[in-house]
Chains A and B, each alone.
Chain A
Amino acid sequence: MTRPVWMEPPRPSTKAAKAVAVTITVALVIIPFWVVVATSLSPDLQVIRNGGWSIWPEQVTLDAYRRLFGSGVISHAVLVSAVVTIVGTAVSLTATVLMAYALARPNVFGGKPIMLGVLLTFLFPPAIIPSFLVVSNLDLRNHYAALIAPVLISSFNLVIMRGYFQGLPAQLSESARIDGAGDGRVLWHVVLPLSKAIIAVVGFYYAVGYWNSFFNAMLYLDDQSTWPLQPMLRQIVMLGANPDTSIAAGAGASVAPQTTTMATVVVAVLPILAVYPLVQRFFTKGVLTGAIKG
């Protein structure tokens, strides 16, 4: 960072204090992640001895990952999750942009009641059973569409995007209109190029939402082998919660799934961590926009 000419160079003590503060902050973020990774790579016995975690594997082992991917079910689930996330984000983003653009325009026919309808869903979020009945009666059960359709448009994201569109100078679209552009052309050539930040942010919200959601799959997909990653991982994390614990003879599973649990966390978090740097540059700007122009 370049220093403006009128500022004095920082004193060494200030520099040192800053370095310490930054180091501590970074450590607070990194260390928990490191413990997760280290535990997932440690032998079970070490983790048990240590009380459920380890900071340095005595011996690096991939046993936990082998247990996780052993039956091939999890790798299939990763694929399902990836497809649902990509398709879902694309469809959701398209639908949200179109609706937000329409609702952002003044004097659209039916605009206000529709907007009111959207806002009402904030007040009355759908409960499990009504949602289930709707999905079931639309014959969406046991289709992957059931993971996308019920959450196609998030009213929160819609409101943010509408606010952003409303904040764009009206003169831009008016001049495009004078030049003969229709709504489609205005949206595509004027509004969208100006809205990259908000699209990146809302897209990221959607992607994280699809990637993380676990409950709908449990509710709408009967066959576990068709499930996406998260509900599977959740099951692994909760393995120890059996009051009856019949891990009896035969199953041979050890009762120390802490390493598997941590491996699970790594698998669940990795894709998000990988994607985040790509959209990060839009992120600060976009989030701020949403916050001040609701």
Chain B
Amino acid sequence: MDITRRSLLRLTGGLALASAVPGLAACGDGSATSVGNAGKGLAPLPTYTPINLVKPDLPGTAQGVQDAFLTYPQKLAQTVDGKPGDGSVVTCMVITYGTAPSPAASNKLWTAINEALGVDLRLTLVPAADLNAKYATMMAGGDLPDIIATIDLAMSNALQFTQAKCADLTEFISGDAIKDYPNLANLPTISWQNVGRIGGRLYGVPVPRPQLAGVMFGNREKLETAGVKMGLGVSTAQFAEGLAKLATGKQFPLGGNNFSENIHLGAAGVPSNWVLADGAFTSRYENPVYPEVLQRLRDWYAKGYFYPDLLSTQATQANTFFMNGTTLTLGGGIGGYPGMVSGVGDAFTVDFVRPYGDDPTPWLGNGVFSNSGRGGFTALKKASPERIKMLLRVLNFLAAPFGSKEYELINYGVAGVHFTTGADGDPLPTALATTGGENKTNLPLQYIAAAPYVLYLPGNADATRRSYQAQQEIVPIGVGDPSYGLVSPTQAAQGTKLNQQITDVTNAIITGKRPVSDWSGAVSQWKSQGGDAIAKELAEQHAANH
């Protein structure tokens, strides 16, 4: 065969066309509307039936302050009778943030959990960085595990996939049916709500998280010497004055690996990602205060309040800078608090920087775990009703609350093997749990199903009290995002790209590479490229759900 330019073009052109066709077909099959809830009968959410095994030392609130425990319960309850499993092999794909555990046969924690569950649990652990790629191949390959945990709403076609390939759980968990699985009935309604329905039906089990998700950790002693007290009512001017005193050229009051705009926007009274008014959704980007906040952060950046290489800093490094006092605050997830407290040790007191400003509206999270923060859930592969029930019993076991024997096994391991009981009754990890790697970070069952998160730092009651106090102050004035649990096909398809564009502009403005006046143009572009469509879809979904 002689290759000429022409024949090559013909060949490659043909290939390009052939590969384009399935893509077009996928756009046109109307699947976007069938996952929506508009015009469908809505299955009732599972009935909330709280379990109170142990009375918390500092009780949480219905609004979302966590239950806090200063000591470990003396007596543990058994919440699951018998073994939930039937001895079969159960495969499960789930995210991991740890390192690989040793194989089940030589892993005492895994063996004990298999024994208690009555199944042979085989885990496909997917590193967080590879989550989307691995799940995309799983969805395309069609070879599903029994339990598909950590389906993330930010994955493209997550809902279409779930609806087509996963089991409809409605008859098993909707309304009072959930009472067969008491530990799942103990999950707060808001977490079910924010997982949402697909086509009016229930497919997912949430992994609940505290309502207060994004926080700013602070170096309490340093901040207080500069007049930034750890309480509400610090004005923006006072806060800025404090920063000015603390910025010495070698010490930077604002750290992290991004600008934590959410914290500063909340402080300035810009509520949450979306605002719902009269059935219409408006993006935070359109808030008139937004450019003012950008201007403020830009000034602060120019004055050296922010760590200068912040945007090229890695998360671990940003933590290190905070712990060694190079930076005095750090934006992060509230789940990182215990790790931060133990990492800092006695060097200083880790506290929560309260929202500053006259009328702050700190942002609340969506109350469910997901890698992207958009939301996510655990679904089951289609199977006979008997098997689905068995799998739900397994999830029920994994969701056993604090103060139960099951919780202890999943979180601390086997007594005497993975932990010993300290003088105050706190479980203290053994070498097998730390250097041996047999712990819940490396065997991440907590991302398959879990009980509502409680606040308990073994042996550090003061740290527990600080977090509780901060939540007491922040949660009541917090604002949730009305778009949680609503489905926007445009968001699913283009959200990542759109967010990236606007983040790039934000960063360029704060670092002084672009003027603040560029902001309105960026917002119009965002709106026309998909923002308006997202707002419209959210409004339709909202109307259908209410």
Contacts and interface: CB of A to CB of B under 8 A. Distances in A.
Interface of A: 47-52, 66-67, 70-73, 77, 112-113, 116, 120, 123-124, 128-129, 132-133, 136, 215, 218-219, 222-225, 227, 231-232, 234-236, 238-258, 261
B101 A225 contact: yes
Nearest to B316: A240
Contacts of B440: 246, 250-251
B99 A129 contact: no
A256 B371 CA distance: 22
A47 B321 CA distance: 11
A218 B433 contact: no
Contacts of B338: 247-249
Nearest to A142: B124
A123 B12 contact: yes
Contacts of A245: 97, 332-333, 335-336, 339-340
Nearest to B343: A255
**Top-3 shortest CB links A-B:** A240-B316, A245-B336, A71-B437
Most chain A CB neighbours (cut-off 10 Å) among B99, B130, B136, B457: B99
B288 to A, nearest CB: 30
A258 B318 CA distance: 12
B1 interface: yes
Nearest to A123: B12
Contacts of A52: 317, 320-321
B191 to A, nearest CB: 14
Nearest to B426: A249
Interface string B117-134: 000001111111110011
B255 to A, nearest CB: 12
A120 B343 CA distance: 53
B102 interface: yes
B333 A218 contact: no
Interface stretch (B45-53, B137-145, B232-240, B537-545): B137-145
Contacts of A215: 130, 133
Contact of A243 (B15, B326, B373, B429): B373
Nearest to A66: B435
21 contacts: A49-B324, A116-B3, A124-B15, A129-B136, A215-B133, A218-B126, A224-B123, A225-B100, A225-B101, A235-B98, A238-B129, A240-B314, A243-B333, A244-B97, A244-B209, A244-B336, A247-B339, A249-B456, A249-B457, A250-B440, A257-B316
Given A128-B137, A231-B127, A252-B434, A224 B101 contact: yes
Interface of B: 1-3, 12, 15, 96-103, 106, 122-130, 133-134, 136-137, 140-141, 143, 209, 314-317, 319-321, 323-324, 326, 332-333, 335-336, 338-340, 342-343, 369, 371, 373, 411-413, 419, 427, 429, 433-442, 446, 456-458
Contacts of B96: 224, 235
A179 B96 CA distance: 64
Contact of B458 (A120, A249, A256, A261): A249
Contacts of B324: 48-51
Nearest to A226: B103
Contacts of A257: 316
A45 to B, nearest CB: 9
A87 to B, nearest CB: 22
A123 B9 CA distance: 12
A227 B339 CA distance: 28
A239 B126 contact: no
A108 to B, nearest CB: 13
Given A225-B101, A243-B371, A234 B320 contact: no
Contacts of A124: 15
Contacts of A133: 140-141
Contact of A223 (B103, B317, B319): B103
A136 B324 CA distance: 48
Nearest to B93: A222
Contacts of A231: 127
B342 A254 contact: yes
Nearest to B342: A254
A230 to B, nearest CB: 12
Given A132-B137, A246-B335, A241 B315 contact: yes
A71 B136 CA distance: 31
A224 B443 CA distance: 11
Contacts of B134: 218-219
A67 to B, nearest CB: 6
